[in-house]
Amino acid sequence: MPSYTVTVATGSQWFAGTDDYIYLSIVGSAGCSEKHLLDKPFYNDFERGAVDSYDVTVDEELGEIQLVKIEKRKYWLHDDWYLKYITLKTPYGDYIEFPCYRWITGEGEIVLRDGQAKLARDDQLHILKQHRRKELETRQKQYRWMEWNPGFPLSIDAKCHKDLPRDIQFDSEKGVDFVLNYSKAMENLFINRFMHMFQSSWSDFADFEKIFVKISNTISERVMNHWQEDLMFGYQFLNGCNPVLIRQCKKLPEKLPVTTEMVECSLERQLTLQEEIEQGNIFIVDFELLDGIDANKTDPCTLQFLAAPICLLYKNLANKIVPIAIQLNQVPGDENPIFLPSDAKYDWLLAKIWVRSSDFHVHQTITHLLRTHLVSEVFGIAMYRQLPAVHPIFKLLVAHVRFTIAINTKAREQLICEYGLFDKANATGGGGHVQMVQRAMQDLTYTSLCFPEAIKARGMDSAEDIPYYFYRDDGLLVWEAIMKFTAEVVSIYYENDQVVEEDQELQDFVKDVYVYGMRGRKTSGFPKSIKTREKLSEYLSVVIFTASAQHAAVNFGQLFLGMYPEEHFIEKPVKEAMVRFRKNLDTIVSVIAERNKNKKLPYYYLSPDRIPNSVAI
């Protein structure tokens, strides 16, 4: 009788193992085997991190293997199990891999296909077509769209983390709770004793330095020592945590009536302000988005305020960016003066502090929350709803949406909800942050997520004219590496543009993003369909770059770009493409490390060894 060797790998995360009974059935072109209990005498099967092998003998030839069925039945109490993969050695010595990387909960059953990526057109057998269809039908019931707030991108239909499908929940809530619980974070940073500073006026600038006592590294120490200086202020717009707002000023807006006489002490080339603008030496950051946003009123004992400043900056003879004029609100007038470096020291410093405060609000709510977290969640939900696990695009993207839906659900549960931590800690809490996202959705476009186009649209693309914009330089290197990688993967599975256009599952994925994520807004520029391999490579690069590099530039992470510990792909050409991708990323790491040598303020946020694969924090 034919005998198969079945190898079963259990996940290594907490509580991945199980004591439940595990049964296996093998489905082939000539028939289906009986259920076989996978059990070895006097042995603790399916322990966390274990790789167990079993001999399974069947009564008759099964023919070409098509599926394996795994069934879990309760032993004592329901015991969830994380199955990484199954490998089948046939009687003829062939090995067939069945990736899983999923939780089996309750008394459940899952049906696995072999790991070879297939488009729908490649499945000719009814049993495989049926498996593909049933998987998507099940997922679409689990991954439902929901409007959390009017005007927001739609999100997952889950009120709290435990309502999520088990496969996308965090492995352990303890780590994420530490990140999301503001008071715990403050306590661990030894800042609790200074909380009164954030709830009342500071009496001295020295108070600010106290928050750095336990945050000690090269960057924080340099910022602490130089934060009041104009050079540091300008540098942060280029390479700080929000380097996406500064743009080249082509024409001075009428709402900012700055004259040459006002700023001539800052202009080093003996040119008029207009001539400096024409030569490309003037830059602007406009916080118009904040104009009219309601300040936090959740605590009647604490008055909070918001500004909507406009900041004019200048590239000096050393090619460094420095501020030369600040107006704190949008409408000019006697009650809204323009502050200048020639003003009294603390007048100028306070004007810069207001700008930095506004920058913080836009960074946290728009650059970080909307343009990385919420956008990546849209890609993730659409992927789970429209792409089966056997689809090559699912296999490519799944690592880049890992835990994104979970972290966003926790944020809606604890951070940005009514009476959440945002309301307690931020001047835009109490509804202002919601108004900001609703406004910013009008500017959320597909091209603004294409890194090179976004840089060019702000007039910041010339490395010769703007030499110290490391966010741009490193980001372009990473973008090009991702584009090259996605183009390779696309070429493996789509031999021409027609195959792309006829892939209905892919088109449904793209349409889901447009209809639900972008709310069907034509002005978003998001495609409703994709018709060429080139456009597909670009689209996939947008998904991956947004979830990895862009999020890294404005935050931080743990699992790094180019690492794919879950082996969803088994094909040699894709694995070779992954190796080349990692080599390209390693080269970028070396280039950035060499540039950062001896720099007093190194920029490494977009070094690939520091870029997380997904938005997971």
Q: What is the DSSP string of 290-352?
A: GTTPPPP-SSTTS-------EEEEEE-TTS-EEEEEEESSSS-BTTBPEE-TTS-HHHHHHHH
Question: pLDDT digits over 221-233, tens only?
Answer: 777 888 889 999 9
Question: pLDDT digits over 454-463, tens only?
Answer: 999 999 999 9
Mean pLDDT of the chain: 90
The predicted pLDDT at position 212 comes to 58
Give the mean model confidence (pLDDT) for residues 602-613.
Answer: 87
At residue 174, does pLDDT exceed 60? no
The predicted pLDDT at position 181 comes to 52
The predicted pLDDT at position 563 comes to 67
The predicted pLDDT at position 560 comes to 55
At residue 189, does pLDDT exceed 50? no
C-beta separation of 269 from 317 below 8 A: yes
- Spatial distance between the Cα atoms of 185 and 343, rounded to a whole number of angstroms: 38
Q: Which residues pair with residue 57 across a beta bridge?
A: 3
At residue 111, does pLDDT exceed 70? yes
Q: What is the H or E stretch that residue 96 is in?
A: strand 95-104
Question: pLDDT digits over 234-285, tens only?
Answer: 999 999 999 999 999 999 999 999 999 999 999 999 999 999 999 999 999 9
Give the mean model confidence (pLDDT) for residues 16-25.
Answer: 95
Question: Is residue 423 very low, low, confident or very high in pLDDT (cuts 50, 70, 90)?
Answer: confident
Question: What phi and psi values does residue 547 have, to the nearest 5 degrees?
Answer: -75, -25
Q: Which residues pair with residue 247 across a beta bridge?
A: 284
At residue 195, does pLDDT exceed 60? no
The predicted pLDDT at position 616 comes to 67
More confident residue, 259 or 565: 259
Distances (CA, A) of 314 to 252, 321, 323: 13, 5, 6
- Spatial distance between the Cα atoms of 517 and 25, rounded to a whole number of angstroms: 40
Weakest-pLDDT range from 189-193, 210-214, 430-434: 189-193
The predicted pLDDT at position 617 comes to 67
Question: Is residue 215 very low, low, confident or very high in pLDDT (cuts 50, 70, 90)?
Answer: low
- Spatial distance between the Cα atoms of 156 and 154, rounded to a whole number of angstroms: 7
Distances (CA, A) of 272 to 278, 281, 514: 10, 11, 46
Give the mean model confidence (pLDDT) for residues 283-312.
Answer: 94
- Where b means 16+ CB within 10 Å and e means fewer, 107-122 reads ebeebbbbbebbbbee
At residue 28, does pLDDT exceed 80? yes
On the 0-12 / 13-18 / 19+ scale of CB atoms within 10 A, 527 is middle
More confident residue, 373 or 552: 373
Q: What is the CA radius of gyration of the chain?
A: 27
Residues 6+ apart with CB under 8 A from 165: 142, 143
More confident residue, 107 or 435: 435
Question: Is residue 192 very low, low, confident or very high in pLDDT (cuts 50, 70, 90)?
Answer: very low
Residues 6+ apart with CB under 8 A from 500: 490, 494, 506, 530, 531, 532, 533, 535, 536
Question: Is residue 568 very low, low, confident or very high in pLDDT (cuts 50, 70, 90)?
Answer: confident
3-state secondary structure of 265: coil
Ramachandran quadrant class, 477 (left: phi over 0; alpha: psi -120 to 50; beta: rest): alpha
The predicted pLDDT at position 395 comes to 96
Question: Is residue 299 very low, low, confident or very high in pLDDT (cuts 50, 70, 90)?
Answer: confident
The predicted pLDDT at position 257 comes to 97
C-beta separation of 410 from 138 below 8 A: no
Give the mean model confidence (pLDDT) for residues 518-535.
Answer: 96
Question: What phi and psi values does residue 366 have, to the nearest 5 degrees?
Answer: -105, -60
Give the mean model confidence (pLDDT) for residues 54-58.
Answer: 94
Question: pLDDT digits over 124-147, tens only?
Answer: 999 999 999 999 999 999 999 999
Question: Is residue 24 very low, low, confident or very high in pLDDT (cuts 50, 70, 90)?
Answer: very high
pLDDT above 90: percentage of residues in the chain: 76
Give the mean model confidence (pLDDT) for residues 337-357.
Answer: 96
The predicted pLDDT at position 600 comes to 84
In the block, tokens 């960074």 appear at 363
C-beta separation of 493 from 119 below 8 A: yes
C-beta separation of 72 from 19 below 8 A: no
CA 608 from chain centre, in angstroms, equals 14
- Spatial distance between the Cα atoms of 234 and 201, rounded to a whole number of angstroms: 26
pTM score, whole prediction:
0.92
3-state secondary structure of 243: coil
At residue 555, does pLDDT exceed 80? no
At residue 392, does pLDDT exceed 60? yes
C-beta separation of 119 from 85 below 8 A: no
Give the mean model confidence (pLDDT) for residues 313-335.
Answer: 97
